[in-house]
Amino acid sequence: LDLSHPEIIPANADQEQLSPVYPTTEGLSQRVLRRLVKQVLTLQRQKPFLREILPAEFRERYQLMSLEAALERLHQPRRSEGVPGDQDPARYRLVFEELLAQHLALRQARRQIRREQAPILAPRGKLYKRLLANLPFAPTVAQSRVLDEIRTDLASHTPMLRLVQGDVGSGKTLVAAGAALAAIEAGYQVALMAPTALLAEQHARNFETWFSPLGLRTLFLSGQLNQRARREAQQSLLNGEAQLVVGTHALFQESVQFKRLGLVIVDEQHRFGVHQRLALTAKSPDGLRPHQLVMTATPIPRTLAMSAYADLDVSIIDELPPGRTPVTTVVINSARRDEIIERISEVCAQGRQAYWVCPLIEESEAVSAQAAESTEALLREALPHLRIGLVHGRMKTAEKNMIMDAFKAHELDLLVATTVIEVGVDVPNASLMIIENAERLGLAQLHQLRGRVGRGATASHCVLLYDEPLSERGRARLSLMRATQDGFKIAEEDLKLRGPGEV
């Protein structure tokens, strides 16, 4: 056993405190960090400069430590008390204060925005009726209810700030389309922002398919467009030729200007900061603040949503469209990998398709997770008769789109991917999902990935592969995935498993 550059601390029987270990950066050692923290805590005791913002009565009611006591406990724990854990009262106190501060800041931002004026968008709904007439399905009761709530907001001079939550496959895109058509029919433009180019381009294609027969123009704008295409798209927005633009962070650029922006739709809100989504609403040239609709397919416990999205009203699509087939979830040790590979062969022989998801893109010495590139090579060797593709976040957008299009067209049988496919990918013929190292992914991410199958009429399966040793908490999380497909129940149970220390 070799020790490289060990830091030696002399044993001292009189030392009451445990020695903390901090994340370090180059040029800043543990010893220096400990000395600085000790100086700060000493100064706080002698001449307090960190103000206690919670009144004593409030702390007593909620059984909260004082700020000074919490900092002492976390940075200089006594030997007799042991190491503070996730559920420690000191950690709970700091988490409570952080959530309270965020909640108050968001409420203040909401009050400020509510004082501003927004355009009144109250059309007769002709475009939406024409859209529904062209679709092979009807909206669910939940979709119609949420769209009515949105229309009520849009018909007011007060800027809409609404979050639409829906489980995987609940049909949030149709609700967004209904809101967009209300704004367009009232003579305004709409901007839809997604966190990844893959998801943004899929949204652009869906809206183009739906809106083109209505005589509406949809643009796609990302940072990977060439200069000429980007300039033409920006000109179309500025002169009002394009009614809807779908894009990524490229929509934040100063060069992107609108003639008459009335509605901003943000998909997968948790991928963006509050300031980012509010920045886009400042792009209206007429002095009116655009309405804002935020969507997420990551169900959030209502208690947590009250803090995380205190500036937003919340609507929930709590119903799935008819015809969705339940997904059977199984939890299997990765030692049985050969059985899973045989199962892929059987599924593809029946004319269906499969996903194999890996957490990493390339081999890493730091993490023992299987990488997508090495897994693809192994699967090609084990399944030479199958057409196998690979997609990950480091590929160019055009290359990713080419592979995804090939998979949708059933020119590929098996798609090996990273979690880049966790949202927005819709291939009804795919009926088998294998997730490698499932114990390394969060429950919300696992639920999203599982939602990529079960989109057609065929019975679908999701296989969660795990490596030993598996912790008790890890086992409980995977068991929860096997027990339910209700995203809101998963979110509530996940919050209980994590505890307040990880909120």
- Please give the Cα distance from 44 to 57 (Å, whole number): 22
- Please give the Cα distance from 17 to 255 (Å, whole number): 56
- Please give the Cα distance from 323 to 340 (Å, whole number): 27
Output the six-digit token pair for 96: 């409570």
- Please give the Cα distance from 150 to 160 (Å, whole number): 8
By C-alpha distance, which of 183, 233, 163, 231 is closest to 204?
A: 233
- Which residue blocks in 48-164 are alpha helix, DSSP H? 56-61, 67-75, 89-114, 126-134, 141-154
Give the chain's length: 503
How far is residue 331 from each of residues 96, 232, 369, 451, 467, measured CA to CA in Å? 35, 50, 17, 16, 11
Q: How much of the chain is helix, strand and coil, in % rounded to 5?
A: 45, 15, 40
Biggest CA-to-CA distance, the chain: 81
How far is residue 284 from each of residues 120, 161, 271, 302, measured CA to CA in Å? 14, 16, 23, 32
pLDDT tens sequence for the chain (503 residues): 666 666 666 665 456 778 888 887 778 888 888 899 999 999 988 888 888 989 999 899 989 999 999 998 889 888 777 777 777 889 889 988 888 887 888 788 788 878 889 999 988 889 999 999 999 889 999 999 999 999 999 999 999 989 898 888 888 999 999 999 999 999 999 999 988 887 888 899 999 999 999 999 999 988 777 888 888 988 999 999 999 999 988 887 778 889 999 999 998 755 556 566 566 666 666 778 899 999 887 767 665 666 666 678 889 898 888 777 789 999 999 999 999 999 999 999 999 999 999 876 444 533 434 578 889 999 999 999 999 999 987 788 788 889 998 999 999 999 999 888 876 678 999 999 999 999 988 888 899 899 899 888 889 999 999 998 888 888 988 999 999 888 888 887 877 776 544 44
Output the six-digit token pair for 291: 């309405």
Q: Please, what is the Cα angle at 261 between 260 and 262, to 5 degrees?
A: 110
- Which residue blocks in 216-336 are alpha helix, DSSP H? 227-238, 274-280, 302-308
| List of long-range contacts for 121-124, beta carbons under 8 Å, 24+ apart | 121/154, 121/155, 121/182, 121/183, 121/186, 121/188, 121/262, 121/263, 121/291, 122/151, 122/154, 122/155, 122/182, 122/186, 123/182, 123/185, 123/186, 124/185
Partner residues linked to 327 by β-bridges: 460
By C-alpha distance, which of 435, 434, 387, 375 is closest to 411?
A: 387
How many beta carbons lie within 10 A of that of residue 48, not counting itself? 11
Q: Are the C-beta atoms of 317 and 167 separated by less than 8 Å?
A: yes
Query: Which amino acid would we find at residue 424?
Result: G
- Please give the Cα distance from 193 to 160 (Å, whole number): 17
Q: List phi, psi (to 5°) of 64.
A: -110, 140
Q: Please, what is the Cα angle at 435 between 317 and 413, to 5 degrees?
A: 95
Q: Which pTM does this prediction carry?
A: 0.75
- Please give the Cα distance from 294 to 308 (Å, whole number): 13
User: What pLDDT, in 10s, does the model give residues 56-100?
Assistant: 998 999 899 999 999 988 898 887 777 777 778 898 899 888 888
Partner residues linked to 313 by β-bridges: 162
* Distance from chain centroid for Cα 405: 23
Which residues make Cβ contacts (< 8 Å) with residue 470, sequence separation at least 6? 439, 478
Output the six-digit token pair for 183: 């704004």
Q: Are the C-beta atoms of 457 and 325 separated by less than 8 Å?
A: yes
By C-alpha distance, which of 316, 352, 342, 329 is closest to 431?
A: 352
Domains of the chain: 30-87 (no CATH), 116-317 (3.40.50.300), 327-502 (3.40.50.300)
- Please give the Cα distance from 207 to 174 (Å, whole number): 9
Query: In this structure, what DSSP letter does residue 501 have?
Result: G
Output the six-digit token pair for 407: 């998979």
